[in-house]
C-alpha cells in the first residue's frame, strides 16, 4: 500500500506497506524507508490528534510521542526497541520510525510458558531495564504487550510513551498512569516512582508467564487495585509445580509491597541466572556451540588422518594385479592337488607333485611340509624308518612363504583395515 493511499496522511520518505496496530490516538504501520530500503515500525498520530489544539485531550498523544522520541533516542541496548528517526510536520512531531520486530509480543504467547523460556525472556527484559535505569529513565508501563519477541527469541522492551526521567517534574503526584494489573503499589497510590516500580511489574509479568494467572486480577478495577496494595502473592511453585522454588523466591522478592525490599534489575537478573535452570541456548549461544562442535570435528578428523597416515606408513602398500591373482590361483590349485593325492594315500604321486611345486617355488613352507609328510608315508608303507630330514633354518616373518589362500586372506584383512 503506497503512502499516498493512507487515510491519515503521508510520512516523509517512508512507504507504508500495512497496518500493524491501530488505537484511538494513532496507528502503527509497517513501512519501508525509500532511501535505504530498511523496514520500520512507523508510529503515527491519528488525524484527530494532529488537528486538535494543544489544550484538548487528544493532543496529549503528541506530548507522549515527543517524550518517547526524546527518551528512546537516549537509549541504545539490544533489549530495547531502537528509535531510528522522529518525523516533524510544521515543527510538530508527526511520527516515530522505530525498529521493526518481526515477531509476537509477550501478550500473544500462550501461557504458561516453560520455566526456562519464561526466565530467559524476563532476563532480557531486566537487562533492558537495567540500561534504562542506569540512564535515569523509569518505563512505568512494563506489561506483556510492551515486550516484543524477535524471530531469534530475543525480548525487546517497547513503548516509552509514558516513561519519565527519574525525579522528573513531569510526574505529577496523584496521577495514575499505567496498566492496572501490572502496577506497583506506589504507582497505584500516585506516588513518585523509582526504578523499583518497573521491577514489580516485571515480577508480575514473570508470575503470569509461569502460571498463566495474573496474581492481582479481580472482577473489577477497584478489586485489582486493592489486591495490589493488600493481597500477598502466592508462591509461583505452589501454582505450578514445574516452577523451581528458587525462581518463585526471586519473584516473591520482585513483588514486595515495599519498593526498598525489591532487588534492582541487575540483581534480579543475576538471581534468576543463579537458579541454574536448563534454559535452551539463545541464538548467539547456538552459533557459539555450533562453532565449537565444528572445531572439534575438524580436530578429530585431523587426528584420524594423522593416525591413518602413520599406520599406512608403518606397513608396505600391497598392490594386487590381475597377473598376481592368477598366480595365486595356480599355486593354490597345485598345492591342493598334491594335498589331495596325499590324503588319498597316493603317496608317490603326492611326493612328485610337491617336488614339482618346490622346483618352481623352493622356499614354500606348505610344499616342504607336504613333501616331508609324503616321504614319511612312503617309508612307513615300505617298512623303512623315515629318513632324517635336515633341520630347516628358522626364518623371519618377512621371508616367510605362505599358502596362496592364506596370503589372500591376509590381503583381504589389509584392505579391510
User: Residues with catalytic annotation?
Assistant: 141
Residue 112: cis peptide before it, omega within 30 degrees of 0:
yes
Assign residue 37 a region (left: φ > 0; alpha: ψ between -120 and 50; beta: otherwise): left
The SS3 of residue 260 is helix
Q: Which residues contact 278 (CB under 8 A, 6 or more apart)?
A: 116
What is the rounded CA–CA span in Å between residue 26 and residue 32?
A: 18
Q: Which residues contact 30 (CB under 8 A, 6 or more apart)?
A: 16, 17, 18, 19, 20, 39, 40, 41, 42, 100
CB 29 within 8 A of CB 98: no
> Nearest to residue 268, comparing CAs of 148, 142, 165, 161?
142
Grid coordinates given for 122 = 524476563
> Nearest to residue 23, comparing CAs of 153, 145, 111?
145
What is the rounded CA–CA span in Å between residue 270 and residue 147?
A: 20
What is the rounded CA–CA span in Å between residue 352 and residue 331?
A: 15
CB 78 within 8 A of CB 154: yes
What is the rounded CA–CA span in Å between residue 333 and residue 45?
A: 100
Question: Which residue intervals of 104-244 are DSSP H helices?
Answer: 115-134, 185-188, 195-211, 221-230, 236-239
> Nearest to residue 115, comparing CAs of 342, 277, 288?
277
DSSP string, 205-259: HHHHHHHS--TT--SSHHHHHHHHHHPPPPPHHHH-TTS-HHHHHHHHHHT-SSG
- Beta-ladder partners of 98: 41, 83
Helix 347-360, helix 365-382: angle, nearest 10:
150
Amino acid at each position: 500500500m503506497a503512502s499516498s493511499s493512507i487515510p491519515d496522511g503521508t510520512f516523509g520518505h517512508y512507504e507504508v506497506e500495512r497496518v500493524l496496530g491501530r488505537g484511538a490516538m494513532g496507528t502503527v504501520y509497517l513501512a519501508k524507508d525509500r532511501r535505504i530500503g530498511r523496514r520500520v515500525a512507523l508510529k503515527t498520530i491519528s488525524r484527530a490528534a494532529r488537528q486538535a489544539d494543544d489544550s484538548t485531550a487528544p493532543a496529549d498523544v503528541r506530548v507522549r510521542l515527543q517524550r518517547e522520541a526524546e527518551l528512546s533516542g537516549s537509549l541504545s541496548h539490544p533489549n530495547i526497541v531502537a528509535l531510528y528517526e522522529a518525523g516533524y510536520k510544521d515543527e510538530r512531531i508527526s511520527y516515530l520510525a522505530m525498529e521493526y520486530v518481526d515477531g509476537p509480543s509477550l501478550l500473544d504467547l500462550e501461557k504458561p510458558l516453560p520455566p526456562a523460556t519464561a526466565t530467559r525472556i524476563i532476563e532480557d527484559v531486566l537487562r533492558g531495564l537495567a540500561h534504562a535505569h542506569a540512564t535515569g529513565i523509569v518505563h512505568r508501563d512494563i506489561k506483556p504487550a510492551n515486550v516484543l519477541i524477535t524471530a531469534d527469541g530475543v525480548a525487546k522492551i517497547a513503548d516509552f510513551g509514558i516513561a519519565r526521567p527519574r525525579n522528573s517534574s513531569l510526574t505529577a503526584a496523584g496521577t495514575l498512569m499505567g496498566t492496572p494489573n501490572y502496577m506497583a503499589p506506589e504507582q497505584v497510590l500516585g506516588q513518585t516512582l523509582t526504578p523499583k516500580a518497573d521491577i514489580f511489574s516485571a515480577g508480575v509479568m514473570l508470575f503470569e508467564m509461569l502460571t498463566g494467572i495474573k496474581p492481582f486480577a479481580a472482577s473489577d478495577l477497584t478489586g485489582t487495585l486493592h489486591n495490589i496494595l493488600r493481597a500477598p502473592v502466592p508462591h509461583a511453585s505452589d501454582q505450578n509445580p514445574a516452577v523451581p522454588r528458587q525462581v518463585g523466591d526471586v519473584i516473591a522478592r520482585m513483588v514486595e509491597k515495599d519498593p526498598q525490599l525489591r532487588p534492582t534489575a541487575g540483581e534480579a537478573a543475576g538471581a534468576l541466572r543463579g537458579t541454574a535452570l536448563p534454559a535452551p541456548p539463545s541464538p548467539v549461544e547456538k552459533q557459539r556451540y555450533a562453532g565449537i562442535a565444528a572445531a572439534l570435528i575438524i580436530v578429530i578428523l585431523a587426528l584420524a588422518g594423522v593416525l591413518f597416515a602413520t599406520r599406512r606408513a608403518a606397513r608396505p602398500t600391497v598392490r594386487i594385479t590381475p597377473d598376481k591373482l592368477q598366480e595365486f590361483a595356480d599355486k593354490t590349485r597345485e598345492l591342493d592337488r598334491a594335498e589331495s593325492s596325499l590324503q588319498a594315500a597316493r603317496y608317490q604321486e603326492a611326493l612328485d607333485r610337491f617336488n614339482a611345486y618346490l622346483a618352481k617355488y623352493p622356499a614354500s613352507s606348505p610344499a616342504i611340509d607336504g613333501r616331508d609328510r609324503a616321504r614319511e608315508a612312503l617309508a612307513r608303507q615300505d617298512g623303512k624308518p623315515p629318513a632324517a630330514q635336515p633341520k630347516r633354518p628358522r626364518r623371519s616373518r618377512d621371508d616367510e612363504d605362505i599358502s596362496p589362500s592364506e596370503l589372500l586372506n591376509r590381503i583381504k584383512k589389509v584392505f579391510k583395515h
